[in-house]
């Protein structure tokens, strides 16, 4: 099954991208009537605002489920303390006693 959330986000982001490109094109068009340019840019900005709201809606309605926390393991009994033994002294050849 396709990922519905990802497909929605891709479609909305593509629409938004093309609206933004059109906005830049209109802003840079020197031959367009100024009043028509302003009206067109206002309409495009309204479309971009709607697309942004749609992106937020997708995020709100298709939230990832919160990870289920595993209960902490019960504390285990600590191992009995080990008694340290003094290191065995070894007499080497030529020594009279262990050091």
Q: Report yes or no on 35 lying in a domain.
A: yes
Q: Rounded to an integer, what distance in angstroms lies between the CA atom of residue 78 and that of residue 84?
A: 17
Q: Report yes or no on 11 lying in a domain.
A: yes
- pTM greater than the 0.75 cutoff: no
Q: Rounded to an integer, what distance in angstroms lies between the CA atom of residue 24 and that of residue 37?
A: 11
Amino acid 1: pLDDT = 41
* Segment 36-70, tens digit of pLDDT: 999 999 999 999 999 999 999 998 888 776 677 77
DSSP result, 38-88: HHHHHHHHHHHHHHHHHHHHHHHHTPPPPPPPPPPPPPPPPPPPPPPPPPP
Q: Report yes or no on 69 lying in a domain.
A: no
If one counts the domains in the chain, the total is 1
* Domain encompassing residue 13: 4-60
Q: Report yes or no on 92 lying in a domain.
A: no
């Amino acid at each position: 099954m396709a990922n519905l959330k990802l497909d929605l986000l891709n479609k909305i982001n593509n629409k938004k991208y093309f609206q933004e490109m059109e906005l830049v094109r209109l802003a840079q068009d020197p031959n367009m009537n100024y009043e028509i340019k302003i009206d067109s840019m206002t309409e495009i900005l309204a479309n971009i605002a709607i697309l942004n709201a749609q992106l937020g809606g997708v995020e709100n309605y298709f939230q990832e489920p919160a990870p289920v926390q595993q209960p902490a393991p019960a504390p285990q009994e600590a191992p009995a303390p080990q008694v340290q033994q003094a290191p065995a002294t070894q007499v080497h050849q030529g020594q009279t006693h262990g050091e």
